[in-house]
């Protein structure tokens, strides 16, 4: 028997990873990559940073960790993998185990035989069915060609107004890149908030930060049309009739799996539109595997099939597929908990597992949450604030998800939380988690553990918490609530909520209890800067007979609405 023939269709992330894994496990296999684009192994998650000028050498998007450009010569010399670039796979003949393809620059056709095939055709950018998408100045940021186009616009410095259609990960990252390059950017998001993996109150804090950088965020509004003159974009019309003058519009409303080739070959396609694969990344044809943005995978929390077009998952899936085409079905990809993170100006936003909103949407009825504001490390080490929200199931106490935003170190918290969610930790598992501690890196009790402590207190009935949104709703309705701010007078003078609150600093509270409502059943909402003192105040009030005391979780620093400031 001759050498095994391994063919991979797609050369971005999952495809090259599968090919490289196959080669490492079988030195003598014939491994071929068929790649429609001219480039290979593109670091697409780096496109916004290239566009924004964080680095200037385009080759850094397509080079190895040691700085060698990963072109077809590199793959042949370093890995003995044949990479057919600028070559489109046009059909898969499953019976003959052949891939038909065409070299795009010349039109030359060829047939490549396989024993095992890996499909890694990725995804394509969603384009809304509205007028004007063909205008010059309307683009996506999905390909390296798109990145080159936007980088030229950035370097030329002619465009002054831009619009991002969609407030997801790419949209927010591109907003930062171009705003800092001197283009005034507006993000338009149809949903109630941007970054929909977050709950509203955390996303709103990030949106406030974005607007503090002179960019604009418009939510609850979609794009109705792109308007142009002489074939060039001049404005974007929103669904409410507003027109935003601009010379650049970037469509970033998501992607859809590129499954045309797989569907034509008769492979099973899932209800989400991706190629159906099992835990081995095997398709409905035992000789064909698939990986990356073109597939559906299992959500490890809900068991449901989901699309998860993320670069890290594509690489993990490609590795599994590459191993299984050589060694048989021994490697597994168990699914995703959909962890994500992004940097937007000075803020970082990350999440893992289910948000409260997603949990309710999926039918979880007995959800409990806790929100904290902490410093990521001690103040004497330059600690910066982060807001953390933990979502758990009340009965099982299993942690379902964690979100974190702020200018502090969010990444560390989400990384630890992702393992906790994946490992099905309960709140009790987390409250004594043995995480690394030293002042340059964290508080003695890390913010993630602090949030678990708050959640444990709520589950045990030791603390009654209330979200900032529920507080604002009570204010807007004019509910009969006594709002108690227990910060110091100097803090209060600098910034306050302005909701009719009463200031009694925590250190004076025991001596001034007579100033509180005589009716011990009247609702009192207490808070401070981060609501640590707020919780201590609530303990004092409850010990003295007040029966309806709620702590505003996260405190003043987690308030996403307008505040009164001195001066």
Catalytic site residues?
Answer: 45
What is the DSSP annotation of 457-474? HHHTTS--EE-HHHHHHH
Pairing of strands 161-165, 138-140: unpaired
Pairing of strands 248-251, 161-165: parallel
CB–CB of 228/135 below 8 Å?
Answer: yes
Identify the burial level of 240 via C-beta atoms within 10 angstroms of its C-beta, where 0-12 means exposed, 13-18 middle and 19 or more buried: exposed
- DSSP letter assigned to residue 514: G
- For the record, the structure tokens of 164 come out as 């991002």
Q: Which of 427, 531, 425 is nearest to 484 (CA)?
A: 531
What backbone phi and psi angles, to 5 degrees, belong to 482?
-95, 110
How many Cβ atoms sit within 10 Å of the Cβ of residue 231? 9
Residue partners of 182: CB distance under 8 A and separation at least 6: 157, 160
What is the DSSP annotation of 218-257? E-S--EEEEEEETTEEEEEEETTS-EEE-SEEEE-S-EEE
Identify the burial level of 550 via C-beta atoms within 10 angstroms of its C-beta, where 0-12 means exposed, 13-18 middle and 19 or more buried: buried
CB–CB of 360/367 below 8 Å?
Answer: yes
The C-alpha atoms of residue 139 and residue 189 are separated, in whole angstroms, by 17
How many Cβ atoms sit within 10 Å of the Cβ of residue 366? 10
At residue 315, the 3 state secondary structure works out as helix
How many Cα atoms within 13 Å fall on the side-chain side of residue 434? 0
- For the record, the structure tokens of 60 come out as 């850094």
Q: How far apart are the first and last CA of the chain?
A: 84
Q: What is the 3-state secondary structure (H, E, C) of 65-105?
A: CCCCECCHHHHHHHHCCEEECCEEEEEEECCCCEEEEEECC
The C-alpha atoms of residue 435 and residue 418 are separated, in whole angstroms, by 14
């Amino acid at each position: 028997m001759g050498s095994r023939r391994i063919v991979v269709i797609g050369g971005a992330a999952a495809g090259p990873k599968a090919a490289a894994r196959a080669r490492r496990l079988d030195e003598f296999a014939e491994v071929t990559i068929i790649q429609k684009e001219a480039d290979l192994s593109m670091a697409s998650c780096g496109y916004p940073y290239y566009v924004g000028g964080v680095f200037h050498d385009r080759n850094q998007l397509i080079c190895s960790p040691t700085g060698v450009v990963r072109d077809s010569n590199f793959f042949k010399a370093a890995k003995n993998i044949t990479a057919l670039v600028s070559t489109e796979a046009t059909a898969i003949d499953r019976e003959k185990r052949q891939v038909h393809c065409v070299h795009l620059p010349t039109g030359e056709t060829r047939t490549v035989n396989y024993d095992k095939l890996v499909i890694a055709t990725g995804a394509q950018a969603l384009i809304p069915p509205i007028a004007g998408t063909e205008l010059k100045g309307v683009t996506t940021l999905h390909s390296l060609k798109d990145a080159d186009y936007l980088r030229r616009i950035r370097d030329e410095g002619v465009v002054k107004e831009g619009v991002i259609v969609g407030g997801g990960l790419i949209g927010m990252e591109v907003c930062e890149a171009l705003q800092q390059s001197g283009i005034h950017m507006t993000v338009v998001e149809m949903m109630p908030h941007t970054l929909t993996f977050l709950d509203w109150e955390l996303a709103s804090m990030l949106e406030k930060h974005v607007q503090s950088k002179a960019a604009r965020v418009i939510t609850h509004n979609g794009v109705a049309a792109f308007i142009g003159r002489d074939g060039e974009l001049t404005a974007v019309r929103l669904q409410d009739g507003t027109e935003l003058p601009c010379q650049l519009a970037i469509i970033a409303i998501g992607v859809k799996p590129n499954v045309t080739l797989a569907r034509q070959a008769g492979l099973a396609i899932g209800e989400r539109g991706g190629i159906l694969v099992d835990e081995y990344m095997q398709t409905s044809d035992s000789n064909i595997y698939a990986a990356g943005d073109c597939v559906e995978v299992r959500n490890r929390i809900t068991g449901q099939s989901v699309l998860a077009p993320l670069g890290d998952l594509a690489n993990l899936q490609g590795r599994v597929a590459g191993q299984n085409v050589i060694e048989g079905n021994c490697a597994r990809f168990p699914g995703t908990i959909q962890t994500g993170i992004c940097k937007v100006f000075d803020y970082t936003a990350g999440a893992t597992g289910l948000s409260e909103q997603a949990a309710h949407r999926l039918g979880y009825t007995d959800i409990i949450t806790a929100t904290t504001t902490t410093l990521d490390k001690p103040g004497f080490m330059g600690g910066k604030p982060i807001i953390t929200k933990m979502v758990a199931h009340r009965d099982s106490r299993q942690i379902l998800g964690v979100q974190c935003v702020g200018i502090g170190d969010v990444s560390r918290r989400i990384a630890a939380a992702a393992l906790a969610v994946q490992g099905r930790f309960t709140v009790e598992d987390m409250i004594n988690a043995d995480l690394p501690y030293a002042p340059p890196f964290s508080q003695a009790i890390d913010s993630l553990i602090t949030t678990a402590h708050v959640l444990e207190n709520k589950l045990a009935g030791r603390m009654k918490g209330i979200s900032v949104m529920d507080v604002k709703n009570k204010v807007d309705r004019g509910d009969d609530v006594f709002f108690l701010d227990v910060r110091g007078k100097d803090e209060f003078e600098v910034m306050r909520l302005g909701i009719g609150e009463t200031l009694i600093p925590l250190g004076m509270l025991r001596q001034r209890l007579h100033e509180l409502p005589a009716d011990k059943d009247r609702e009192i909402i207490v808070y401070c800067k981060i609501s640590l003192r707020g919780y201590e105040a609530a303990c004092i009030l409850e010990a003295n007979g007040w029966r309806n005391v709620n702590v505003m979780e996260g405190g003043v620093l987690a308030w996403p609405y307008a505040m009164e400031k001195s001066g």
